[in-house]
Structure 1
Amino acid sequence: MSNVLDSFPETMITATPADGFALAITYSRLGVKSAQPDMDILEKLRPVYSEDADSLIASSQVVATHFQTIATANNYWR
């Protein structure tokens, strides 16, 4: 099993807000993999949380928080 940090992006600087949003999703996914590194368990749990509205809203909030940080780093809203 590889270390999550091995695939961690080197910078938060992106060319466009869309690229920044994609990076926010990457950060969120890396956070989940860091919290639960066992891919078998992640795959087993996916059907449970993928149909739970509260879980989906919570994951959206995490992505939004990462995107806010990336947007600030890139000065998107100047």
Structure 2
Amino acid sequence: MKREEVIRLLVKNLKLAIPEFADEDFDMSKSYRDMGVSSLELVEVVAVTAKEMAVKLTPTALSSVKTTNDLVDVLLKAKGA
């Protein structure tokens, strides 16, 4: 799976979890809090995305995630890409 595919998957799942989330709200370098995403919404997005990618994420791996860039890196590493 390529980086762009993971990003598209995350954006899709953000929009499903947060219907009012708009493309212009999405910024790879901003924290999720800065984009208006709550911690509960983020947990839902991460869980759905990890399931769709067939990867398991540990709390340790997620502890360093601050931005979408970070999350994409963790997901790709878990996928072995």
Give the TM-score normalised by the residue count of structure 2. Answer: 0.33
Give the TM-score normalised by the residue count of structure 1. Answer: 0.33
Q: Which has the higher contact order (CA 8 A, sep 6+)?
A: 1
